Structures are given as C-alpha cells and as structure tokens.
C-alpha cells in the first residue's frame, strides 16, 4: 500500500508519544526470565515487540494481555523450547539479537529465524563472542546470519566484543549473563557506538533486580594493532536472579521524532506527552537537533513543548549514539535552508536496510543535492514532489511522509510503520496531519 499526506490543518495540539519500543522489548524479556509475576504497563504492541512476546511464550513464559497491562508469569530462568519448528521473528532484528543469547538458557535446541530482510542481518560478531562463554550458536546457512541454531549451555566467563557494529550484541550478552553458570566479564572494544541503548539495558535490568558493574580503562600493552592504547569498557555481571516487578514503559523519543519534526517543518505549537526529561534514550538528541535547526523546545519532567515558524536551517550533527534518528534528520535537512552534515552512523548500514544508502537513493528521486559517505551524508536543502519507496523499512516510511507537509509525495510499501508505531496515522492526525493508505 502507498502512504501519503491527505490534508493538513491547524498543526499542533497535544498528543501522547507512543511507548518505547526498546524498553518494551527489554521489559517483556526480563519479565519472562524473572521469578514471579510482573505487570507491564503502557507496553507497545508493535510487530517487533510481538515477536519478542511470541518467542518468550515459546520458551516457557505465560503472557496475558489484560485491560491496562501485560501480565507476565516468569520462568525464573528455567527455559524450555516448546516450538517444534523454527521460531519466526518476522523483521525484528532486536528480538533476534537479544534472544540469541537468552535462548542458550533453554534445556533444548532453539532455532531463530525471520523474514528475508532479517536473514541479511550480520550475527557473526555476537555468536563468536558467545562462543567464548560456552554458548553454541551457529548460522544454519554458514553465512553468519539467521536462521541461528542455539544449543543448550551457557557457562559464562570472560569475553570481548566490538562496540562499533550494534549495541544490541552487547545488550544481548548483558541480559543473559546473570543466568549463566559463572557470570560474565564482558570487555567492549572501541568504537562504542549507541552507548545509550546499553545504558537503557542496564537501567531496566536494575529495575528487575540485577546489578551490572561497569568501568573502563585504557589498554596499555604490547599489542600492535588498532586496539593499542584504546579505551576498553568492562562490564561485570555476577550470577543473579531476575525478580518480577510492576513496570511502566516510558515514551519513545525515536517515534516521537516524527511528531516533533512535523511541527518544526510546518510551524505551529504542540505538547508531546510521556517524554521523560531524565530518559536514558539516546534519541532524546532530537530535541537538541530541532533547537539547533531553529525550533523552540521546552523540556519538562514528563512532556515536551515545541513551537516553530517552519523556517529551519542546516546544522552539523553526530548521530553515533542516535542512529535511528538518521532518516528523520535527513528529511529535516532536505527541507531546511543551507547544508547539513550528518556523521557517525556507519552502523546504520546494518539496520532493516542500509539506511545511509536507501535514504540517499530516495532523496535523489526528489532532486535532493547530497553526498553519501561511509558514515553519513551531506545534504543541501531543496527537494521537489515525487514517489519514493520505503524498502519495507518502517523508519523510511514514516520519515519520508514528512516531505508531504511541503510537497506532494507518495511512499510505496508505506504500511510498514506498524513495525514500531502502530498508531502512527492516528497520532499524526492529533496534531493536524491527515495521512492515508492507498
């Protein structure tokens, strides 16, 4: 189906940000590993999160959707795979990465797979790191990608992993580590990208009763490679148990970026609820970006107010800790005056799509003046109407719909927003942007 803007009127008002996808994934996984019954409030029931719910059910958790919360009866870390076929995770890379480590805690084999896109995601860095911990997780096709066969056994011990590709590899090991036989000492070698996502993982692990020790040191030794004299982050996770709890999922800054950007582009005033001032989400950076581009932003304890006259200008921005903002910022840049330089997002090339390449490809269809680099892009504002493709990437679909606030645009395969923001159309309507699927 194709997505396009149908009507625009009275931009602004008040709207609640959708629940955080990242915290929703982690909440249901930790509750499933915990001892006792947890109540998870304000969960996001997107396609991706449903993938995590389904695999947790397959491994033994009892999960029931109540009127105003999700009830999870945990397994106390005692997992058993009840699925006789490979567990299909759809397009959820987060579920694949986080659950690869967790699945080794089961007492029988687990096979995790997904759609065609998911089967292009690199997993070798994670499985190689897990091997040093006694985890046997292998690519069935021997290409370092899903389907992944995970056999029982998680001894723990010491391992290391690159921090430059995906923070989800690190979070995967951290989440499963306390239930290993001996605990885990994890060393993260540079560059440590998307660090806030790991901070989020440690934060929610603490809420479920598990403590993570974290420190760093500068590596001074005789090694003659790129890691000489580099910073190493060390995580120490002793053997522990997760405890059930009642948990409220906070609003999602990456999803809210589309609502905030719409106001910034069109001009108007809006209040976005459920965005916490003390959030550990890296995508909170969108507030600083919009300020720098010319919008007025006021941050309160649990909501954000934005006002704009619609006149934005280019900036220089490093998105190394907020790669999910890449496409939103690229669209803002294409509609702003001047030039925007986006750097630090080489790891965005291993998301649902190669987001640097696909974003540049689709912007070129709209006549955008840009240069593509390995870790980002330079965009000079100025585009026109046209038809673009989402490449079945939810963030491409939602971000490119913002172009429709200024120019006629149609996004093919535009229905994929429900991967992370099921009520995207309804939320945009609340601030005066009427979208339609054709």
Catalytic residue numbers read: 324
Distance (Å, whole) CA 159 – CA 58: 28
3-state secondary structure of 341: strand
Residues with Cβ within 8 Å of 222's Cβ and at least 6 positions away in sequence, in order, are none
Name the token pair of 70.
């999700």
DSSP string, 294-312: T-EEEE-SSEEEEEE-S--
Strands (E), 132-267: 137-139, 148-150, 157-162, 184-189, 213-218, 231-237, 246-248
Measured CA distances, 226 to 159, 216, 229 (Å): 18, 17, 8
Contact (CB, 8 A) for 312 and 261? no
Pairing of strands 148-150, 386-389: unpaired
Phi, psi of 132 (to 5 degrees): -70, -15
- Edge-to-edge strand ranges of the sheet holding 87-88: 87-88, 110-113, 148-150, 137-139
Helix (H) or strand (E) holding 70: strand 69-73
């Amino acid at each position: 189906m194709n997505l396009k803007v149908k009507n625009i009127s009275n931009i602004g008002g008040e709207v609640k940000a959708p629940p955080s996808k990242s915290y929703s994934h982690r909440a249901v996984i930790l509750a499933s590993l915990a001892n006792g019954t947890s109540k998870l409030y304000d969960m996001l029931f997107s396609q991706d999160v449903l993938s995590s719910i389904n695999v947790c059910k397959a491994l033994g958790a009892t999960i029931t959707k109540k009127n105003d919360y999700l009830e999870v009866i945990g397994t106390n870390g005692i997992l058993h795979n009840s699925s006789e076929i490979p567990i299909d995770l759809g397009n959820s890379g987060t579920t694949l990465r986080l659950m690869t480590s967790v699945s080794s805690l089961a007492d029988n084999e687990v096979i995790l797979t997904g759609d065609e896109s998911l089967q292009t995601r690199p997993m070798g860095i994670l499985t190689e790191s897990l091997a040093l911990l006694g985890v046997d997780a292998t690519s069935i096709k021997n290409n370092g990608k899903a389907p992944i066969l995970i056999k029982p056994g998680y001894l723990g011990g010491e391992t290391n992993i690159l921090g430059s590709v995906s923070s989800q590899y690190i979070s995967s090991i951290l989440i499963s580590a306390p239930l290993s036989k001996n605990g885990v000492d994890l060393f993260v070698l540079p560059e440590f990208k998307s660090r806030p996502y790991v901070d989020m993982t440690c934060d929610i692990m603490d809420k479920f009763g598990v403590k993570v020790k974290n420190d760093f040191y500068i590596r001074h030794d005789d090694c003659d490679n790129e890691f000489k004299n580099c910073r190493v982050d060390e995580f120490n996770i002793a053997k522990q148990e997760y405890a059930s709890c009642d948990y409220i999922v906070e609003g999602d800054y990456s999803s809210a970026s589309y609502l905030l950007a719409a106001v910034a582009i069109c001009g108007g005033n809006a209040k976005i609820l459920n965005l916490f001032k003390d959030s550990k989400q890296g995508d909170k950076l969108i507030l600083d970006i919009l300020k720098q581009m010319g919008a007025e932003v006021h941050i309160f304890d649990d909501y954000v107010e934005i006002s704009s006259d619609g006149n934005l200008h280019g900036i220089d921005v490093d998105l190394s800790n907020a790669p999910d903002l890449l496409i939103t910022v690229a669209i803002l840049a294409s509609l702003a005056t001047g030039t925007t330089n986006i750097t630090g997002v080489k790891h965005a090339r291993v998301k649902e799509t190669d987001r640097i390449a696909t974003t540049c490809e689709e912007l070129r269809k709209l006549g955008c003046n840009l240069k593509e680099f390995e870790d980002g892009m330079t965009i000079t504002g100025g585009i026109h109407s046209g038809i673009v493709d989402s490449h079945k990437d939810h963030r491409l679909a939602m971000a490119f719909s913002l172009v429709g606030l200024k120019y006629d645009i149609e996004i093919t395969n535009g229905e994929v927003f429900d991967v992370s923001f099921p009520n995207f159309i309804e939320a945009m309507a609340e601030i005066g942007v009427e979208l339609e699927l054709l």
